[in-house]
Amino acid sequence: MKVISEDSLKIALGFLVMLVLLVVMTLLGLSKMQDIQSKIEVITSENNLKTELMMTIRHGIYEREVSLRNILLLDDPFERDEGKSRFNQHAIDIVAARNQFATMRLNDREKQLLEEINAAMRKAYYAQVNLIDKSIYRAEEPITRDEIERAFQTQEVFMERVKQMISLQKNATQKALKDARQSYNQARTSIYILGSAALLVGSLVAILVIRLNESQSRSIREALRKVEEANSQLEDRVERRTRQLALARDEALASSKAKDAFMATMSHELRTPLNIILGYSELLEEIVDEDSQTQYLPDLKKIKNAAQHQLGLINSILDISKIEEGKLDIHPVEFNICELLHDIKEAALPLMAKNQNAFNLNCSNNAGMMYSDDTRIRQILLNLISNAAKFTEQGQVSLNVEVDENEISFVVEDTGIGIDENYKSQLFKKFSQEDNSTTRRYTGSGLGLSISRHLAVLLKGSISVESEKGKGSRFTLRLPIIYVE
């Protein structure tokens, strides 16, 4: 029996230690690769769930927009109510997906985007619900283009925030996969080195390491392939949804434009019979007066006043339609300022007589000449004076002129009921009235001030208002003395 030498024992022990270290390092590398695979599975699961929730929200936004468009286009009130139910159900689905998303693990950027999504969702929902309620329960109030555009604009902002969140999830997934690939490559390199070294120690260990390495590699490659396929499908779905939403938006805008064109056409068609009614009522007044049948005069005056009121309303609607379509032309001429204001005073005196108001015109002879559209200026000032006379009883209405170097100011003041501070921001909007009681008592379409402001802008000027509830109002029309295209 041979005695093993001390050097042989040292060599054997060194070999054994090296073999143990190689095995330990190999096992650690395999464990690291398993951790990478688990990490990829977690990333894939979490981000896929987040993406699916965002896609649920995106689908709900699209379906809700389709429901809104259908409500605006439907005539049957029951169908509109059914459309509103679908709209609300989609809103519930969106909120449920949003709430589930909020419970997941989020980074700072995801939390910030979620807050922006919540804010955009509230704005879009309020704008759309207001449009739906106005369409269903306030059908007598026409829906304006501004309201439609605001509803779809807030919807687009909401959609853009959701799209940003989807993009963020995609980028986060790609970054995590890139890091995982890098770690995987490093681990694989280490494993190959250790495997090669282990071949010198024992071929069985090397074969085991290689087989385990290849098995892990196949699992990781398969996981990466599935994630890449999911991202590719997600991009296609996002692009398809985007095109569908753009088409829905264009259809809604086209419907609004067609409605404006219809209003303009119908206004023209309605003016002809109203002018005939006015003509016949004036003719009958003359006949009745000649035949001394004065008992019919009050009824004829009511007919004439009603026709004049309707004709004025139709003319206002026609002006609004022309302004919105950009078809209202300006025809500047040179005219004497005071002469124009004296003509306006003559036209305003009957308005003052209705509520027993006194009218004062202050125009100095040095006001001079002006180059602008006198017809549109007359229309604006008569609108302002008419409003002042309507909301003033047994008081004072005045029209003052202030001439600067290149600008002239027409100031209409009254001692009437004044305007509430909270209503001033709505004053120049179409079909706007301070409240229901004001509408019932003083009547009116709510178009006069809106048209006046549009005309002032077309004449390169502006209209401002100063008022206090119960103490009267002061409207100031500022225009350049010389209108320049």
pLDDT recorded at residue 411: 94
The answer to whether the CB of 373 falls within 8 A of the CB of 330 is: yes
Mean pLDDT taken over the chain: 76
Same domain, yes or no: 184 and 41: yes
The answer to whether the CB of 307 falls within 8 A of the CB of 283 is: no
- The tokens for 219 are 């699992």
Residue 1 within any structural domain of the chain: no
Residue 149 within any structural domain of the chain: yes
Out of 219, 246, 262, a domain closes at: 262
Residue 166 within any structural domain of the chain: yes
Same domain, yes or no: 157 and 71: yes
Residue 306 within any structural domain of the chain: no
pLDDT recorded at residue 439: 45
Q: Report the CATH number that the domain containing residue 435 is assigned in CATH.
A: 3.30.565.10
Out of 201, 229, 262, a domain closes at: 262
Distance, CA of 224 to CA of 206 (rounded, Å): 27
Q: What percent of the chain has pLDDT over 90?
A: 12
Same domain, yes or no: 110 and 248: yes
The answer to whether the CB of 472 falls within 8 A of the CB of 415 is: yes
Q: Between these two residues, 332 and 158, which has the higher pLDDT value?
A: 332
* Residue-number span of the structural domain to which 437 is assigned: 333-480
- Predicted confidence band at 268 (pLDDT cuts at 50, 70, 90)? low
Distant-in-sequence, close-in-space partners of 175: CB < 8 Å, separation ≥ 6: none
- Predicted confidence band at 29 (pLDDT cuts at 50, 70, 90)? low
pLDDT recorded at residue 3: 44
Mean pLDDT of 385-391: 90
Distance, CA of 130 to CA of 12 (rounded, Å): 87
Same domain, yes or no: 355 and 229: no
- Predicted confidence band at 232 (pLDDT cuts at 50, 70, 90)? confident
Closest CA to 367 of 343, 344, 335: 335
Out of 239, 262, 285, a domain closes at: 262
Same domain, yes or no: 24 and 119: yes
Same domain, yes or no: 20 and 158: yes
Residue 113 within any structural domain of the chain: yes
- Predicted confidence band at 50 (pLDDT cuts at 50, 70, 90)? confident
Mean pLDDT of 257-272: 63
Instruction: Tell me how crowded residue 120 is: count the other CB atoms within 10 A of its CB.
Output: 19
Residue 274 within any structural domain of the chain: no
- The tokens for 351 are 């308005």
Mean pLDDT of 275-284: 74
Counted domains in the chain: 2
Same domain, yes or no: 60 and 169: yes
pLDDT recorded at residue 395: 92
Closest CA to 434 of 385, 478, 470: 470
Same domain, yes or no: 190 and 97: yes
Same domain, yes or no: 254 and 337: no
Residue 308 within any structural domain of the chain: no
Q: Is the pLDDT of residue 250 over 80?
A: no
- Predicted confidence band at 371 (pLDDT cuts at 50, 70, 90)? very high
pLDDT recorded at residue 468: 85
What residue has token string 């700072």? 108
Same domain, yes or no: 352 and 231: no
Same domain, yes or no: 61 and 205: yes
Q: Between these two residues, 364 and 1, which has the higher pLDDT value?
A: 364
Residue 267 within any structural domain of the chain: no
Q: Is the pLDDT of residue 440 over 50?
A: no
- Predicted confidence band at 273 (pLDDT cuts at 50, 70, 90)? confident
Closest CA to 187 of 23, 17, 19, 27: 27
Q: Can you give 45-100 as a three-state secondary structure string?
A: HHHHHHHHHHHHHHHHHHHHHHHHHHHHHCCCHHHHHHHHHHHHHHHHHHHHHHHH
